[in-house]
Amino acid sequence: MDLTTSLTVVIVGVVFVCVLLAVLLYYSKVNSIFKGIALPSAIAVSLYFIYFVMEIAGAPVSKFPEHDFQYLGHDVDDGGKTLILWTWDFDKEDYRQYKFAYTRENAKKLNQAREQKQRGTPMKGNFKKDSGGEFRLTLQKGGREKSIVPTK
């Protein structure tokens, strides 16, 4: 099951639970103060859970990185249609995943970055728009060596 399907299942499950809770509260004989607090609390917890799954648990962001990043790794997904890039974001000081359309040029540069990283050379990179509006990947040696596994 891919990540989009997983998130869809989580969201549908949350909506189902909230509707079920609303129906049960409507027909219950508990204090009306509890009824007024229970459903908004369940909705707030559900929204936080969805945020947690998407942001903190590492759902890839469907766009190009906006800032300079440290290359950690990449993978081709969706039968060769999508690139997933694992990075250390210097501005946010956190690990990030980005998901964007596959291009042969970007895949070639990312493969070169992987080879350099396997040799022990950290690689920094960024995406910039060219004159045609396409995002082009620029990589260079340097930066701090970061592990794919957080050591916090």
Chain Cα centroid distance, residue 69: 15
Residue 9 is encoded by which pair of tokens?
């299942």
- Per-residue pLDDT tens digits for 67-87: 788 888 888 887 788 888 888
Q: What is the pTM of this model?
A: 0.58
- Per-residue pLDDT tens digits for 25-65: 888 888 888 888 988 998 899 888 887 777 666 667 777 88
**Alpha helices (H) in the chain, listed in sequence order:** 3-27, 32-51, 104-118
What is the spatial distance between Cα 116 and Cα 124, in angstroms, rounded to a whole number?
11
* SS3 assignment, position 143: coil
